[in-house]
Amino acid sequence: MWGHIALSIIKFRRILLILIAVSTLGMAWVAKDVQMTYDFAQVVSPKDPDMVYFQQFKRTFGEDGNILVLGMQDSAVYKLPQFRLYDQLANELVKVPGVSGVLGLPKLIQIQKDTINNSFVTTPVFARPPTSQAQLDSLMRVVNSIEFYKGQVVAPRTGATLLAVTLDPKWLNSDKRKEVMNNILNLSAKFEKDSGIKLHYAGLPYVRSTMTSKVSSEMKFFAGLMVVVMAIILFIFFRTWSAVVVPLLVVVIVMIWCIATIVLLGFKINLLTGLIPSILVVISVPNCTYLLSRYHYDYRKSGNQILAMTRVIRKIGLITLVNN
């Protein structure tokens, strides 16, 4: 059987190469539609009673995993020039696409009693931007008198304050998340430069954005680095470019087919499946090197292509397939 397989490969090698090339082009066309997933990994069945209750709870009360917090601990923010820049930052953040709300000193509200209608009404503490330091100090005394904000928006002991930015979950769990975060960070960097106040970032959106970007860039870097290192090692051992190009070409073809298969199965690339390129390089290149070296060894020994191909398929090919 192995002899017939080897004979067929050698006899129809051109047809097989054309089929592989055409199929790879088709799979590459499919692979271009691959998408990244920005949702958390679903490790619990959606029909699980606890998961059903959790989803119902989120629909009723919402979730806090879409809040980005900008914190600062600098007394300069309570000076009129810096406070105006702070107010400008809050107003600009509200206009950023994907931001559904902002809560901070310039956006605080207070509850007042309407004695005429026997009801409560909410009014902004900073209805108008303060025009003098005395007016700002007066409004800050109003803020400090509201017990609800003590320790929540303003820390009485340290004077630290925060600006909470609520993001739209539809933007946060899509490929637009990077765009939203970049816009927010650019505005924050401008505020830091103009005011001289250092901002500190916290919140799940910031962690997810920075870690995803970092992991994605590192995966691309290490995948490319491994290809370069493998190419150098192959060239040092074989001293011919054909022994370098063929294994790397096989790796590229396998990667294209693998990504296309993910698309055809309806899956998306996540942090786990993103490791596939690196794993394929590590596994495929040594196997290709071993198969090529074994083929050349048997061919030099026997001088027969069919016999060399048969021995490689029988002794090495099946073992490599099973081991991997």
Residues 133, 139: Cα–Cα separation, whole Å: 10
Confidence of residue 152 (pLDDT cuts 50, 70, 90): confident
Q: What is the pTM of this model?
A: 0.66
Residues 251, 285: Cα–Cα separation, whole Å: 7
Q: Which amino acid is at 265?
A: L
Confidence of residue 189 (pLDDT cuts 50, 70, 90): very high
Q: Is 303 left (phi over 0), alpha (psi -120 to 50) or beta?
A: left
The predicted structure's pLDDT at residue 150: 80
C-beta separation of 86 from 147 below 8 A: no
The predicted structure's pLDDT at residue 211: 72
Residues 306, 288: Cα–Cα separation, whole Å: 18
pLDDT 10s digits, 1-48: 666 776 777 778 789 889 999 999 999 999 888 777 766 666 677 788
pLDDT 10s digits, 109-136: 888 777 777 777 888 888 888 888 888 8
Q: What is the mean pLDDT of residues 59-63?
A: 72
Exposure string over 44-74, b if 16+ CB within 10 A, otherwise e: eeeeeeeeeeeeeeeeeeeeeebbbbbbbeb
Q: What is the mean pLDDT of residues 237-247?
A: 79
pLDDT 10s digits, 257-287: 888 888 888 887 776 777 777 777 778 777 7
The string of DSSP letters for 136-149 reads HHHHHHHHHH-GGG
Q: Which amino acid is at 28?
A: A
The string of DSSP letters for 83-105 reads HHHHHHHHHHHHTSTTEEEEESG
What element of type H or E holds 289?
A: helix 276-302
Residues 264, 111: Cα–Cα separation, whole Å: 56
pLDDT 10s digits, 161-183: 888 898 888 887 777 788 888 89
Q: Which residues contact 146 (CB under 8 A, 6 or more apart)?
A: 108, 110, 125
Q: What is the mean pLDDT of residues 48-77?
A: 81
State how far Cα 228 lies from the chain centre: 25
Residues 131, 129: Cα–Cα separation, whole Å: 6
Q: CA angle, corner 316, sides to 313 and 318, nearest 5?
A: 70
